[in-house]
């Protein structure tokens, strides 16, 4: 007889079998999980994961976190160039026009002084005063006239004779000064004088640029002036499918315009080579070095024959750019248009508003009301972070403003769509990170707003350089907070060089360089510089408040002091502002609500 609570030998045997089976099943499950985790880790560590440079999601950018094996171009070997075995090529095409050669040296020096052209180097030819004197072939001159250009810009007038002579050169000039044509037209002459490309040959001319936006704009200029002589080109940049770019390279192109990361990708894969390249351009060299592209640039230049012609173009002349020029340019001529110190376009009215972080959104809204009332109102708003760009754009759209945004996380299709709407005027407000600070060439941008001051004053110069292009005028507003105090001195130097009136509160901030500036909240001691540039009330050492709180607080202050400040602002702008009626209108009510 079996009592309850006891188990028969048969039952005990069955229980042990079940326990063994469950234990075996758990063991197999743990092993599967371990193998799955191992595969995931190995995939994530694969050197083929190139998302951190030239992949989807943004600018073509380097990565500092990868080891040397994963760096772009790590598998490229430096060729052993033997100049005795290299096929010679022609690069000196310049035949001086009689008028240029026989021009009175005093007239030449007067022209250079008027255009603020300074030179460094030996045997630099005289500048040309018009397009006919440059010595371009008829097919180039016809395209110049078709585009409606009246006379060369300063950098073109002095740069073309040097570039056509086959000399290495450095050109330093402000944004919007015509640097792209300064190297594209000589490139076309250079290419047409070389033997035709054979199958599997790489490009004859290579243009390196820091961002895809700039690369695409260079391609547009190459299309406009190269099509008449059958010069083909392609544009290589990250964030776009490689298929179409690879097909262009397979078909053969005389000009390649590229960002460094994507070009190295194609060089490593053998889709192209630089054995035929004899004309190299580094555009926005200072920006490429700022973005950390120097190792990639050096790796690319290693692949090009050493007797090439090299042209380097930059808006500033820091020591990093100078070192790069000394390493790769031989007996080069240097042209500088304007001051060698950091300088902004003198056609731009610069208005600096010293304020607190929590005030900026309300100030931006007030300013946009003024700008959008103008007939010419195309505006770029620069913001430091991608998240903040999206946030401010959403708020603008909720308020009814026709705004679009661009930053590094946008796909290429989205970026093209945004820029098309902005250029056409369908969306006259573009909110952007510094991805658009250089190379974005939209002629009719009238206003730039620096919602956030950039990380360095060089970027400030390039941001505001999106307006005032091609000898036109523009206005740049900048919100400058106590958190930016360490950059105040650099900004003051830029303003002085451009003959702008400087806000005393900016001078005070530069002197203090401390977060304790502006603790008095009175805000009644208003000041305007050339139609703007005024003071602020301060919060608790500039700590950012919530949007709703800052709106209500700014609104109540505006209502309390509206009448007296508005009348003062209007009378001040009429008596003091030297700017034309266009700029006098902008800022009346904006600066009347300024704290």
Using a pLDDT cut of 70, give the percent of the chain over it: 73
Q: What are phi and psi of 324, to 5 degrees?
A: -65, -40
Residue 279 has pLDDT above 90, yes or no: yes
pLDDT digits (tens, 9 = 90+) for 527-568: 333 333 333 333 333 333 333 333 334 344 444 444 433 333
CB atoms within 10 A of CB 449: 26
Residue 54 has pLDDT above 80, yes or no: no
Strand 117-120 vs strand 279-282: parallel, antiparallel, or unpaired? unpaired
Distance CA 478, CA 448 (A): 8
Residue with more model confidence, 457 or 188: 188
Q: What is the mean pLDDT of residues 280-300?
A: 90
Topology of domain 348-510, per CATH?
Answer: Rossmann fold (3.40.50)
Class of CATH domain 98-337: alpha beta
Tokens encoding 45: 């560590």
Nearest-angstrom CA–CA distance, 511 and 132: 53
466, 406 Cβ separation under 8 angstroms: no
Q: How far is CA 311 from CA 182, 187, 585, in A?
A: 10, 10, 43
pLDDT above 90 covers what percent of the chain?
48
The angle formed by the CA atoms of residues 233, 239 and 245, to the nearest 5 degrees, is: 30
Q: Which of 158-172, 404-418, 541-555 has the lowest mean pLDDT?
A: 541-555
Position 402 scores a pLDDT of: 94
> Rounded to two decimals, what is the model's pTM?
0.65
250's enclosing H/E stretch is helix 242-251
Q: Please report the pLDDT score of residue 497 as a whole number.
A: 87
143 pLDDT band, cuts 50/70/90, is confident
As a whole number of angstroms, the distance between CA 553 and CA 505 comes to 22
| Least confident stretch, 332-336, 420-424, 549-553 | 549-553
Q: In angstroms, rounded to a whole number, what is the distance separating the alpha carbons of residues 42 and 23?
A: 29
Overall average pLDDT of the 24-39 stretch: 65
User: pLDDT at position 79, please?
Assistant: 86
pLDDT score at 533:
38
Tokens matching residue 41: 């880790």
d(CA 516, CA 205): 54
Q: Answer with the residue of higher pLDDT: 480 or 37.
A: 480
Mean pLDDT across the chain: 79
User: Tell me, what's the pLDDT at 240?
Assistant: 86
Strand order in the sheet with 309-314: 117-120, 333-337, 169-172, 309-314, 279-282, 205-208, 255-258, 233-236
Query: What's the pLDDT at 23?
Result: 63
DSSP string covering 303-326: TS-TTSEEEEEES---HHHHHHHH
Between the ranges 314-318, 417-421, 516-520, where is the mean pLDDT highest? Answer: 417-421
For the chain, which residues make up each domain, given as ranges?
98-337, 348-510
**Of residues 186 and 440, which shows the higher confidence score?**
186
Q: How far apart are CA 225 and CA 16, in angstroms?
A: 86
The Cα–Cα gap between 125 and 586 comes to: 45
Alpha carbons 455 and 3: distance in angstroms, whole number: 85
What pLDDT score does 60 carry? 46
Identify the pLDDT of residue 181: 93
Q: What is each CA distance from 525 to 430, 505, 521, in whole angstroms?
A: 33, 10, 10
Say which residue, 64 or 331, is predicted with more confidence.
331
Mean pLDDT in residue range 328-353: 87
Looking at residue 12, its pLDDT comes to: 66
Interacting residues of 329 by C-beta distance below 8 A, sequence separation 6+? 168, 169, 170, 310, 312
> Counting Cβ atoms within 10 Å, is residue 362 exposed (0-12), middle (13-18) or buried (19+)?
buried
Predicted local confidence at residue 501, as pLDDT: 86
Q: Is there a shared CATH topology between the 98-337 domain and the 348-510 domain?
A: yes
pLDDT at site 342: 73
Q: What are phi and psi of 404, to 5 degrees?
A: -130, 165
Among candidates 531, 486, 476, 530, which has minimal Cα distance to 506? 486
442's torsion region: left (phi>0), alpha (psi -120 to 50) or beta?
A: beta
């Amino acid at each position: 007889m079996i009592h309850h609570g006891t188990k028969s030998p048969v039952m005990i045997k069955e229980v042990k079998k079940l326990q063994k089976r469950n234990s075996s099943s758990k063991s197999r499950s743990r092993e599967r999980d371990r193998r799955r985790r191992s595969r995931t880790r190995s995939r994530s560590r694969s050197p083929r994961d190139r998302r951190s440079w030239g992949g989807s999601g943004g600018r073509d950018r380097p990565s500092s976190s990868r080891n040397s094996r994963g760096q772009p171009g790590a598998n490229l070997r430096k060729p052993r160039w033997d100049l005795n075995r290299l096929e010679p090529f022609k690069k000196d095409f310049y035949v001086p026009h009689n008028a240029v050669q026989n021009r009175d040296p005093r007239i030449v020096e007067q022209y250079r002084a008027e255009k603020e052209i300074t030179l460094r180097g030996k045997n630099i030819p005289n500048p040309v005063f018009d397009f006919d004197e440059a010595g371009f072939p008829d097919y180039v001159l016809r395209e110049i006239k078709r585009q409606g250009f009246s006379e060369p810009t300063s950098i073109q007038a002095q740069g073309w004779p040097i570039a056509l002579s086959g000399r290495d050169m450095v050109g330093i000039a402000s944004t919007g000064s015509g640097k792209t044509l300064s190297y594209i037209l000589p490139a076309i002459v250079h290419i047409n004088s070389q033997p035709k490309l054979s199958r599997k040959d790489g490009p004859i001319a290579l243009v390196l640029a820091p961002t895809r936006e700039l690369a695409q704009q260079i391609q547009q200029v190459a299309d406009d002036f190269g099509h008449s002589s059958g010069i083909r080109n392609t544009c290589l940049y990250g964030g776009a499918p490689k298929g179409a770019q690879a097909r262009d390279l397979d078909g053969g192109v005389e000009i390649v315009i590229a960002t460094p990361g994507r070009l190295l990708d194609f060089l490593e894969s053998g889709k192209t080579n630089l054995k035929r390249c004899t004309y190299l351009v580094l555009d926005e060299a200072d920006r490429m070095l700022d973005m950390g592209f120097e190792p990639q640039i050096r790796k690319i230049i290693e692949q090009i024959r050493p007797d090439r012609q090299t042209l380097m173009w930059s808006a500033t002349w820091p020591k990093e750019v100078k070192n790069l020029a000394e390493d790769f340019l031989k007996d080069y001529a240097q042209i500088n248009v304007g001051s060698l110190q950091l300088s902004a376009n003198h056609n731009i009215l610069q208005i600096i508003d010293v304020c607190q972080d929590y005030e900026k959104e309300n100030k931006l809204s007030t300013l946009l009301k003024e700008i959008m009332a103008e007939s010419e109102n195309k505006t770029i708003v620069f913001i430091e972070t991608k998240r903040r760009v999206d946030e401010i754009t959403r708020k603008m759209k909720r308020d009814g403003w026709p705004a679009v945004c661009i930053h590094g996380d946008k796909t290429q299709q989205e970026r093209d769509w945004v820029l098309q709407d902005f250029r056409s005027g369908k969306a006259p407000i573009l909110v952007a990170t510094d991805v658009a600070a250089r190379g974005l060439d939209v002629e009719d941008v009238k206003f730039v707003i620096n919602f956030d001051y950039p990380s360095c004053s060089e970027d400030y110069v390039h941001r505001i350089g999106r307006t005032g292009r091609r000898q036109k005028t523009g206005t740049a507003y900048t919100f400058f907070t106590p958190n930016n105090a360490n950059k105040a001195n650099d900004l003051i130097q830029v303003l002085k060089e451009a003959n702008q009136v400087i806000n005393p509160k900016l001078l005070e901030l530069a002197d203090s360089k401390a977060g304790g500036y502006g603790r008095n909240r009175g805000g009644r001691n208003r000041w305007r510089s050339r139609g703007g540039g005024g003071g602020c009330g301060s919060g608790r050492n500039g700590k950012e408040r919530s949007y709703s709180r800052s709106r209500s607080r700014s609104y109540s202050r505006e209502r309390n002091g509206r009448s007296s400040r508005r009348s003062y602002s209007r009378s001040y702008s009429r008596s003091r502002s030297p700017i034309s009626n266009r700029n006098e209108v902008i800022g009346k009510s904006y600066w009347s609500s300024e704290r």
